[in-house]
Structure 1
Amino acid sequence: MEALQASSLRASPLKPLQKPKLNIHFPNASRLVPRPTKKFSSITASSPTVSAPKREKDPKKRVVITGMGLVSVFGNDVDAYYDKLLAGESGIGLIDRFDASKFPTRFAGQIRGFSSQGYIDGKNDRRLDDCLRYCIVAGKKALEDADLGGDKLSKIDKERAGVLVGTGMGGLTVFSDGVQNLIEKGYRKITPFFIPYAITNMSSALLAIDLGLMGPNYSISTACATSNYCFYAAANHIRRGEAEMMIAGGTEAAIIPIGLGGFVACRALSQRNDDPQTASRPWDKDRDGFVMGEGAGVLVMESLEHAMKRGAPIIAEYLGGAVNCDAYHMTDPRSDGLGVSSCIERSLEDAGVSPEEVNYINAHATSTLAGDLAEINAIKKVFKNTSGIKINATKSMIGHCLGAAGGLEAIATVKAITTGWLHPSINQFNPEPSVEFDTVANKKQQHEVNVGKTLYPFLGSTPSLSIYLHFDGYGSSRTCVFCNSNRLVLVDSAISNSFGFGGHNSVVAFSAFKP
């Protein structure tokens, strides 16, 4: 208990298809993305110097993204979700799901008007915890996006298709109700669904049971790093030949009294009750804690061979990843940033990406006093040129969705690559001077990079990459290019860094697909 009352936990304890097409063609386009060969060193003398390897070429081991599905405070449609983000809308408001008037924090990114019609039958819909409902709907919508909805799923080998959707908190409503019934009415009033719906593996299990998918199936629970751990593990199942397709991501539904009360007890949450929509303000000097959110974010991941064989709509490619542990503190990040920085470097190595190629970061940025700057400091250890990188914060609009955050933010990152627009970080009123990055403050931007002096395709400078940091393109006809007044830069990759309570760090790298 003493650890939870440390000064680091006051106010902010968490220190730590049809898709729009952009058809721009260049002659000899295959030459525009040289494989990284530049050597780079890790951040401590004890770590070895490593070289970025060539990217995977074996179609059985290349992993592509063919579908995306979500449940969010902005609805259940991926395009509508990203449109809201681009508009800079806040999904934060006063809680009306229960009486929160006695809590010091009375607002969250609460989902309203959620419907599972067409995805879950009425009887099960009434029984299921929202954590499970969000997972099933997001998973099935991702399959629809991958052109595997309904009877089309029967065309694949279901013994080689699996599900890996994790959650940080599990079926918290079912658990809370069961405890209350035990105390007030005795054990005979506990529902027989109490244990099955509360345990964290049931989201993946129920989705697989519903769809008949018999491949690898389990969940991972690494707090706010959960979704990225699931992407990493799912891709490795495909690379090892254990599956041809995986549904992976995260789901969370913790905006209930015990969930809110628990984070209040940790002194983790903002208390800006008079103006909830401005409460989540990453990197702002007046930030006072994070804002709870909820939902689910899911990707369909396939081997390139499998996707090409069935003519799948390929959105992006998974390049590689890494996981590690701070081994430092239950809630605080390492002050030297070693865990996060080394995890980023190892992910870049696995993906075949060098730090010099990165020009965009979708950050974890939870709006905590210490965590926001700890993230920035870790980034600076790997990426020395802050002037060439833009950084934005999805949580400024949807709140911190815990185990689902990585899934929802990965989708936002892929949409940034495929549309050429970065959503804003809203509520940037009084920015911290030490951030030193363009935070895409308050207004969306086209991806204006600062790495080449003139047009890249005609001058041989290296293409820039996108990076998606979350602390805790399309088919071959599409080339994604972002420009400003004097340069065009090909955006090739996006890196997602995620960590959570317990010191869990994970980094996964995505790229526009190239045959």
Structure 2
Amino acid sequence: MPTQRTPGERVVVTGLGVVSPVGIGVEESWKNLMAGVSGAATITAFDSSAFSTTFACEVKGFRATDHMDRKLANRTDLFTHYAVASAAEAIRDAGLRPEAMTQDARDRTGVIFGSGQGGLRTFQEQTRAYLEGGPRRLSPFFVPMMIVDMAPGIISMQYGFRGPNHSVVSACATGNHNLADAMMAIQRGEADVMITGGSEASICELGLGGFAAMRALSTRNDAPERASRPFDADRDGFVMGEGAGALVLESLAHARARGARIHAEVLAVGAAADAYHMTAPHPEGAGAVLAMRRALAQAGVNAGEVGTINMHGTSTPLGDASESAAIRTVFGEHADRITPTSTKSMTGHMLGAAGAMEAVASVLSLVHQAVPPTINFQWADPGCDLPYALNQAVHRPISLALSNAFGFGGHNTTAVFRAWEE
């Protein structure tokens, strides 16, 4: 039977999982984030020498068969492999034992997990196969390997979870939108436990070439590890990243009933649109302002309580400045007492996985009372004038953490997390 709950049920984070360019697993990734380790290097997945950008933040040393059997690995895309691996770690971290769960408990455990581009590598490989050999060369697994919702589908099949199951796709805001839907599923009483997050594996010829054609990428090919430099006056574009982030959410009543360890409480996810441009942010960050204000209002907290913001901070000239301006607008004088940062300086832009990875980092900031650095900062930009955690981690008291994730199409989201105290 469902756990007895009241309207407006509180939702807590009990599990975390990560596959990132700076580590496979939460422990390694957090250690390297705090140490300011860059995940950027010359691309190894293919020969990138013909492209204007030759580097990215790839995941190193990942083996799909460490997380699923070989047959399933061969029938699923890399973005699904990352999703399954991060979800498995989050489930273990939450102390859930799916094999011991009753069918009713499995029915009330769901998976809402997204991706910005899904199986882009599969799409590229199958297009090549078709052009070389015609329709007979296409794999019968082409479509299921490519579609975004296969990630939550496979996760649910791995554990027999029959609760709410779908994907939200909103480019680089994907992680936060999936988090929002998972939280609301619990608040509506549809589930007791939700596994949520985002995954991306689009470092391939089409992915790199597409972003390069937009002139969105850094071309600092001689020093990849210094290329992602949010807020720096010499920033010249983002660095592609890949991986996945996963969180286990539970109703507070359910978590307490099973004696779960609670990492943090998720209070709200605010959302808004720029209604301005396909790819460029609003110059004054209008949608970002709305998203942050809505998040704070829904959370029922005061702006003056916020201690850190994991900014979208992609290292693009327009994006970093407009987001910084939006924070000034929302927080006023308190903006000078917040410690913002951008972990993209180390992980690169993980696209559809970025919001989920940064939500995990925000929760860890609350757990450890520490803010990872924004590395590679050298030259001040008058348009980026907040007291960021530059080049070194900052240890400070934090009761509330925000995590911003914005996406092409003008999507703006802000997640609010609160430090947990019994």
Tell me the amino acid that sits aligned with residue 11 of structure 2: V
* SS of equivalent residue, structure 2 residue 391: coil
Q: 2:393 aligns with which of 440, 444, 459?
A: 444
Q: Does 1:105 align with 2:53?
A: yes
Q: What residue in structure 2 maps to residue 265 of structure 1?
A: 213
Q: Is the 8 A contact 2:196 2:248 kept in 1?
A: yes
Q: Is the 8 A contact 1:247 1:301 kept in 2?
A: yes
Task: Return the alpha-carbon distance in structure 2 between the equivalents of residues 209 and 336 of structure 1.
Answer: 44
Q: What residue in structure 2 maps to residue 80 of structure 1?
A: 28
Q: What residue in structure 2 maps to residue 116 of structure 1?
A: 64
Q: Is the 8 A contact 1:280 1:399 kept in 2?
A: yes
User: Deviations 1:109-164 (Å, cap 9, x if unpaired)?
Assistant: 01121023442012222332110100011111100000014524458611111101
TM normalised by structure 1 equals 0.79
CA RMSD of aligned residues (A): 1.5
Q: 1:496 aligns with which of 380, 389, 403?
A: 403
Percent of paired sites with the same residue: 44
Q: What residue in structure 2 maps to residue 387 of structure 1?
A: 336
Tell me the amino acid that sits aligned with residue 223 of structure 2: D
Give every structure 1 segment of 4 or more consecutive aligned residues whose post-TM-superposition deviation is greater than 3 Å. Answer: 57-60, 152-156
Q: What residue in structure 2 maps to residue 142 of structure 1?
A: 90
* SS of equivalent residue, structure 1 residue 157: helix
Q: What residue in structure 1 maps to residue 349 of structure 2?
A: 400
Tell me the amino acid that sits aligned with residue 151 of structure 1: E
Tell me the amino acid that sits aligned with residue 119 of structure 1: H
The CA deviation at 1:355 is: 1.3
The CA deviation at 1:187 is: 0.6
User: Deviations 1:20-77 (Å, cap 9, x if unpaired)?
Assistant: xxxxxxxxxxxxxxxxxxxxxxxxxxxxxxxxxxxxx948711010100111112222
Tell me the amino acid that sits aligned with residue 125 of structure 1: A
Q: Is the 8 A contact 2:308 2:371 kept in 1?
A: no
Q: What residue in structure 1 maps to residue 377 of structure 2?
A: 428
Q: Is the 8 A contact 1:60 1:304 kept in 2?
A: no
User: Deviations 1:173-216 (Å, cap 9, x if unpaired)?
Assistant: 11111111111110110001100110111111111111111111
Task: Return the alpha-carbon distance in structure 1 between the equivalents of residues 387 and 401 of structure 2.
Answer: 17
Q: Is the 8 A contact 2:306 2:338 kept in 1?
A: yes
Tell me the amino acid that sits aligned with residue 196 of structure 2: A
Task: Return the alpha-carbon distance in structure 1 between the equivalents of residues 61 and 336 of structure 2.
Answer: 42
Task: Return the alpha-carbon distance in structure 2 between the equivalents of residues 66 and 156 of structure 1.
Answer: 20
Number of matched pairs: 417
Would the alpha carbon gap of residues 89 and 225 (structure 1) be closer, same or farther in structure 2, given more than 3 Å must change? same
Q: What residue in structure 1 maps to residue 267 of structure 2?
A: 319
Task: Return the alpha-carbon distance in structure 2 between the equivalents of residues 233 and 112 of structure 1.
Answer: 31
Where in structure 2 are the equivalents of 1:214-363 lying within 5 Å?
Answer: 214-363=162-311
The CA deviation at 1:323 is: 1.6
Would the alpha carbon gap of residues 433 and 418 (structure 1) be closer, same or farther in structure 2, given more than 3 Å must change? same
* SS of equivalent residue, structure 2 residue 292: helix
Task: Return the alpha-carbon distance in structure 1 between the equivalents of residues 46 and 275 of structure 2.
Answer: 37
Task: Return the alpha-carbon distance in structure 1 between the equivalents of residues 86 and 102 of structure 2.
Answer: 19
**Structure with greater Cα Rg:** 1
Q: 1:191 aligns with which of 118, 133, 139?
A: 139
Task: Return the alpha-carbon distance in structure 2 between the equivalents of residues 382 and 307 of structure 1.
Answer: 33
* SS of equivalent residue, structure 2 residue 352: helix
Task: Return the alpha-carbon distance in structure 2 between the equivalents of residues 82 and 514 of structure 1.
Answer: 22
Tell me the amino acid that sits aligned with residue 339 of structure 1: G
The CA deviation at 1:434 is: 3.3
User: Deviations 1:225-258 (Å, cap 9, x if unpaired)?
Assistant: 0000000111001101111111001000000111
Task: Return the alpha-carbon distance in structure 2 between the equivalents of residues 323 and 222 of structure 1.
Answer: 11
Tell me the amino acid that sits aligned with residue 225 of structure 2: Q
Tell me the amino acid that sits aligned with residue 409 of structure 1: E
Higher helix share: 2
User: Deviations 1:357-392 (Å, cap 9, x if unpaired)?
Assistant: 223121111000111101001111101123212111
Q: Does 1:127 align with 2:75?
A: yes
User: Deviations 1:479-515 (Å, cap 9, x if unpaired)?
Assistant: xxx3xxxxxxxx3221222210001111221112234
Would the alpha carbon gap of residues 273 and 154 (structure 1) be closer, same or farther in structure 2, given more than 3 Å must change? farther
Would the alpha carbon gap of residues 251 and 146 (structure 1) be closer, same or farther in structure 2, given more than 3 Å must change? same
After TM superposition, the structure 1 stretch with the greater mean CA deviation from structure 2, 85-94 or 68-77, is 68-77
Tell me the amino acid that sits aligned with residue 276 of structure 2: Y
Task: Return the alpha-carbon distance in structure 1 between the equivalents of residues 337 and 194 of structure 2.
Answer: 35
Tell me the amino acid that sits aligned with residue 415 of structure 2: V
* SS of equivalent residue, structure 1 residue 384: helix
Q: Is the 8 A contact 2:40 2:55 kept in 1?
A: yes
Tell me the amino acid that sits aligned with residue 374 of structure 2: S
Tell me the amino acid that sits aligned with residue 325 of structure 1: A
Task: Return the alpha-carbon distance in structure 2 between the equivalents of residues 118 and 172 of structure 1.
Answer: 22
Q: What residue in structure 2 maps to residue 204 of structure 1?
A: 152
Tell me the amino acid that sits aligned with residue 428 of structure 1: F
* SS of equivalent residue, structure 1 residue 370: helix
Where in structure 2 are the equivalents of 1:157-172 lying within 5 Å?
Answer: 157-172=105-120
The CA deviation at 1:335 is: 2.5
The CA deviation at 1:427 is: 0.4
Q: What residue in structure 2 maps to residue 488 of structure 1?
A: none
User: Deviations 1:418-466 (Å, cap 9, x if unpaired)?
Assistant: 112221110001121332222211111212xxxxxxxxxxxxxxxxxxx
Task: Return the alpha-carbon distance in structure 2 between the equivalents of residues 492 and 213 of structure 1.
Answer: 33
